[in-house]
Amino acid sequence: MDKFLDSLKGRPVDASIDYLVSLLKRRQIQGSESCALATAHILLQVVARDKWSDVNQLLERVQTVGRKLVAASPRELTIGNVVRRILGLIRDEAQEDRNDANNDGSSDVLPEPPHSAPLKLDSPPGKPIRPTMASALGSLTRTQSMFNILADPDVAPSFLLDGTPAASSGASTPLAHGLATNASALRSEVLDGIEEIMDEIKQVDDQLCGYSDIVIHPGDYVLVHKPSRTVQRFLTRSKRRFTVLVVTDPATVTAEDPYAILRKSLAANGSTLINVMNTGLMAYMTRVNKVILSARAITATGGITVDAGAAAVARAARASGRTVIVLGGVYKLSPDTQANQDLATEWGDPSRYVNFSDGAMVNNVRVKNAVSEYVPAELIDTYITNLGAHSRDHLHSIITDHYKDAEVSLDLYGKIRK
Amino acid sequence: MSEQPNGAPAEGQGAPAPAPQTPQQQPSEKNAAPAKDKPAEKSGEKKLTGAELKAKAKADKAARRAQVKDRKEVSKAEAAVSSSPQQLGPAASEVKGKKGKDGAAAGQGGRPLLPKTVPSAVITEQKVQIPECFSHLSMAKRIPMTQADKDVHPSVLALGQQMATFSIDESIARLKATLLAFKRVIQSYTTPPGHTLARHFTPHVLNPQIEYLTACRPMCFSMGNAIRWLKLQVSKIDMDASEEDAKRDLCLAIDTFVAERITVADEVITEAGSKLIRDGEVILTYGRSSIVERTILLAQAAGTKFSVFVVDDPYERQGQQLAKVLSAEGIQVSYCGDFGGLTNHMRRTTKVLVSAEAMFSNGSLYARAGTCDVALAANELHKQVVVLCETINITERVSTDSLTYNEIDPERGQAGAFRLLFDTTPDKYLQLLVTELGTVQPRSAPDLLRKLEEFN
């Protein structure tokens, strides 16, 4: 990741894109946060260094790059999320500019409504709201109809769009006139916006931590599955005394404790950590109070993609009536859905458990190893994002706050999924 | 029990044994101390039933006491461990009482199977480090042969080591090996003058063997069942029968028991199980179990065309062995090392085949940890879960969760690395129970028990 960021400066944009695509394909950059940041960085380069004279050209360009990146790692939904966010950002900035230009007399733009504030309601106190987003809401003229809220996200509601150009073409006409002059102003505004998105992604962990004391009670037994950095920080931030059961990664069994640092910082609060070396967690569920999972991505229907093995944990927790809590920044919340669960599982390196030198296994047996898998929404109780704790039904409104319809219906996947 | 007065002085002797240790005890070990003393006293009463044993005990005591000093820390911890619920039938309660003593006397256990992974300084503390919430569960431990009770028969000694190292692992294999070892014990037994076999054998010869085996690894339910049966047989021996006859009868009874309850039972079960596999099916199994393996091979031999999906426990990886054996026979095998994508696998599966370590009389299944998760995933997609189980594995006990009866992996018994070996699957996730007495609903397990009682 660092190497990639270093290489950005020296290369032409196209070379960097290809480099990132190959890194993503080889899974040398993986994990939702890295993928999201890498995407933001490369699009920053695209906006800053590519030659473009009007918005449509830029939108087109960003979409093409976005498709390439998504195709390189189609199950990292965050890549698509960031691409969509940036597209939305560009459209907003462009529309603002146009509003300014056309303010005197032209009637095709509806008057700007006062800032609606669903975003503010969710935000934790003291958390700065991205100004671009707030203004995006303001300039977004579409009212939230009941139909919109209830609409099945599986069906792209492209016919609903009023004012915004329909669907994926991106070659929209209303934005076209008289924008070339503002290109440089627009460029700097978009760049600021992308920087803000990157900051948002980086701050997620800190913001999530604020909820740990609400979730964790004294004396709890909390089960976590291969805790990501987010979850580890979430646990250490709690001032309570509790017990953490950590489901470890069986492939990396070593003599030393894989979570020694986490154990140490938990011990400072009097909490204990137990490394559980079982794949099946049903045996422990009578003991466990709640399960905390970190999402790789959260889909619009509330299902999440997680590291392989976590689905079994979630299922066990649900079967025993334990609470399943999902952590993940808003940037992981995707307007996409994983309608087909089978496709949502990513298969990878079979040598994790089976040695390639083992001829009998390699020749005759079909070895499968999942890298990530999908947890259906029914198994999850609560989602905690940097904006707060949400129920499944509330995810829709967060999505509408963060993505414009044009982006939601944008098909970044092309033929990959079909 | 007429020897009781004779026993008294010996008990008096026994008492000082723990005494010299106490001054050396660290203040931090206070809590453990009472736990250790209690079982020691109990065992003192128990073993005093034989007068000549007392003499032997005297001779041994001096030597043992010296040893005890060295390993008191360990034994204390062991005593704490052995206070956990034992996996014996209630009828074997005397064994239970004695087990505490064994923990104290057999000493120096708890050496992890992978000593290189754990620094030697940790070994003595290891037991104490079992996380508190799981401290009621028992754990296998390696007892050096030199520290075993002197009464332990060599064949049992060897068996104990095999069990402690898990080279004999499956419930039914352990049962068979135990019975055969006990047969040797019976063959090499001579009744001391003035005693009868029926009265003397069980408390003085059989029980030390059982204690030792239990100390090496907690007994499985089938062993508890069989030992109860064996004790019954010993007690039924006619007082007037000659020793030769009695021994021959006992050996014959063991042979019949092994043949009926294990050998033939396995044949019947594999036969019935293989008939459940139909053409075109995809059978999912978890880990490796010899009876599942034989069932699948039998179905293949019968000409059924089907494929197998082996899901494995990544910490044991025995499923790879199974996958190799099956694929060598020409069966199409897929293998997955962990529970990643379990739902995906399950969707392509038609039937789940697992074997039981034991069945509780409420119909829940006690099996390799993770079985419950597999059954749960199968249940979600409405796939049939079939359990293969010999009736000797059915216990009259009841368990509703996995933490009532369980065993801790001796290599992973600390907070740094913790692992349970078994879990309990509620009967609602199971559809069929295949036993040698017929294929029934798991809930009917107690009916099978009743049937068995009628037979005997």
**What residues does each domain of chain B span?**
4-16+32-262, 277-455
What is the residue whose two structure tokens read 């992974």? B117
Nearest chain B Cα distance for residue A317, angstroms? 10
Task: Give the separation between CA B12 and CA B419, rounded to whole angstroms.
Answer: 42
Region of B160 please: left (phi>0), alpha (psi -120 to 50) or beta.
alpha
Closest CA to A240 of A221, A224, A254: A221
Contacts A309 to B, Cβ<8 Å: 338-340
Task: Give the separation between CA A143 and CA A140, rounded to whole angstroms.
Answer: 8
Give the pLDDT of residue B120.
37
Residues linked to residue B440 through DSSP beta bridges, in sequence order: B433
Q: What is the CA radius of gyration of chain A?
A: 23
Give the pLDDT of residue B61.
53
> Do the chains contact at A369 and B312, CB–CB below 8 Å?
no
- With a CB-CB cutoff of 8 Å, which residues 273-302 of chain A face chain B? 273-284, 286-287
Give burial (CB, 10 Å; 0-12/13-18/19+) of A128.
exposed
Q: Is B382 on the interface with A (CB under 8 A)?
A: no
What length does chain A have? 418
Give the pLDDT of residue A244.
94
Q: Is B120 on the interface with A (CB under 8 A)?
A: no
- Find out whether A14 and A52 touch, Cβ atoms under 8 Å: no
Give the pLDDT of residue B82.
39
What is the residue whose two structure tokens read 């085996």? B213
Of B131, B376, B409, the CB nearest to A282: B376
pLDDT under 50: residue ranges of chain A? 104-179, 418
Tens digit of each residue's pLDDT (9 = 90 or more) over A270-308: 999 999 988 889 999 999 999 999 999 999 889 999 999
Of A248, A283, A365, the CB nearest to B372: A283
The DSSP-derived string for A310-340 is HHHHHHHHHHTT-EEEEE--GGGB-S-----
Task: Give the separation between CA B71 and CA B75, rounded to whole angstroms.
Answer: 6
> Quick check: helix, strand or coil at residue B149?
coil
Contacts B402 to A, Cβ<8 Å: 282-284, 286
Task: Give the separation between CA B19 and CA B22, rounded to whole angstroms.
Answer: 6
State the count of interchain CB pairs (< 8 A) between A and B: 170
What is the residue whose two structure tokens read 């380069």? A45
Q: In a structure prediction context, what are the per-residue pLDDT tens digits for chain B, which is 456 residues long?
A: 334 434 334 333 433 333 344 334 444 444 444 444 444 444 444 444 444 445 455 545 544 554 544 444 444 434 433 333 333 333 333 333 333 333 333 333 333 344 333 333 333 444 447 888 888 898 888 888 788 888 899 999 999 999 999 999 999 999 999 999 999 999 999 988 888 888 899 999 999 999 999 999 999 999 999 999 999 999 998 888 888 999 999 999 999 999 999 999 999 999 999 999 999 999 999 999 999 999 999 999 999 999 999 999 998 899 999 999 999 999 999 999 999 999 999 999 999 999 999 999 999 999 999 999 999 999 999 999 999 999 999 999 999 889 999 999 988 888 888 999 999 999 999 999 999 999 999 999 999 999 888 876
> Do the chains contact at B133 and A243, CB–CB below 8 Å?
yes
Of A221, A250, A360, the CB nearest to B338: A250
Tokens coding A169: 């073409």
Architecture of domain B277-455: 3-Layer(aba) Sandwich (3.40)
Give the pLDDT of residue A338.
67
Nearest chain B Cα distance for residue A242, angstroms? 12
Give the pLDDT of residue A378.
92
From B406, which residue of chain A is nearest by alpha-carbon distance? A283
From A372, which residue of chain B is nearest by alpha-carbon distance? B340
Give the pLDDT of residue B12.
38
Give the pLDDT of residue A405.
77
Q: Which amino acid appears at position A98 of this protein?
A: R
Contacts A368 to B, Cβ<8 Å: 334-336, 341, 345
> Do the chains contact at A280 and B343, CB–CB below 8 Å?
no
> Do the chains contact at B341 and A287, CB–CB below 8 Å?
no
Task: Give the separation between CA A266 and CA B444, rounded to whole angstroms.
Answer: 47
Task: Give the separation between CA A188 and CA B133, rounded to whole angstroms.
Answer: 58
> Do the chains contact at B373 and A360, CB–CB below 8 Å?
no
- With a CB-CB cutoff of 8 Å, which residues 405-424 of chain B face chain A? 406, 409, 412, 415-420, 422-424
What is the complex's ipTM, to 2 decimals? 0.77
How many other C-beta atoms lie within 10 A of the C-beta of residue A321? Answer: 7
Task: Give the separation between CA B6 and CA A100, rounded to whole angstroms.
Answer: 109
> Do the chains contact at B324 and A361, CB–CB below 8 Å?
yes
Task: Give the separation between CA B332 and CA A364, rounded to whole angstroms.
Answer: 8
- With a CB-CB cutoff of 8 Å, which residues 225-244 of chain A face chain B? 243
Domains and CATH numbers, chain A: 2-204+402-408 (1.20.120.420), 208-395 (3.40.50.10470)
Q: Is A343 on the interface with B (CB under 8 A)?
A: no
Give burial (CB, 10 Å; 0-12/13-18/19+) of A302.
buried
Give the pLDDT of residue A282.
92
Tokens coding A323: 């609470």
Closest CA to A240 of A262, A271, A197, A209: A271
- Find out whether B337 and A353 touch, Cβ atoms under 8 Å: yes
Give the pLDDT of residue B60.
54
Task: Give the separation between CA A48 and CA B248, rounded to whole angstroms.
Answer: 95
Q: Is A267 on the interface with B (CB under 8 A)?
A: no
Of A275, A345, A366, the CB nearest to B334: A366
What length does chain B have? 456
Mutation target vs A (from B114, B335, B352, B429; most A CBs, 10 A cutoff):
B335
Contacts A280 to B, Cβ<8 Å: 313, 339, 369-374, 423
Tokens coding B199: 């009265």
Give the pLDDT of residue A345.
87
From A305, which residue of chain B is nearest by alpha-carbon distance? B341
From B374, which residue of chain A is nearest by alpha-carbon distance? A280
Give the pLDDT of residue B395.
93
